[in-house]
Structure 1
Amino acid sequence: QGLMVNYRYKLDDIEKNHELFAARNDVAAAPAVRRLLPKQARPAAPPLPAAAQTRRDA
């Protein structure tokens, strides 16, 4: 069972949302979308090990 949603990219939030996912495997979603998830929802994949993560220099 799954859920498909349309994405709305807010340019000011893209970097913050990427960092949130990279650091905590958390996907940014509106509260209305989050309410559709089961209480015990788990991420689809575990976070990458720190050694596998890359960060570009700003």
Structure 2
Amino acid sequence: MLGWAIAFLIIALVAALFGFGGIASASAGIAQILFFVFIVLFVVAMVARAVRGRSP
């Protein structure tokens, strides 16, 4: 998930460099959404691991 966010961020930066504003803003928006989804899933996984505890 984080890899996809970084890929869309790079696409947004390259598109902005070449002057494609619409594509750059769309790619940046997608990257931002994917990053926040990644963060939420990471926090949920960490909480679930803390609640469950360590298994032998």
Bigger CA radius of gyration: 2
The structure in which a higher percent of residues are helix is: 2
Q: TM-score range by the shorter chain?
A: under 0.3
TM-score (norm 2): 0.26
Bigger relative contact order, structure 1 or 2, given CA contacts below 8 A and separation 6+? 2
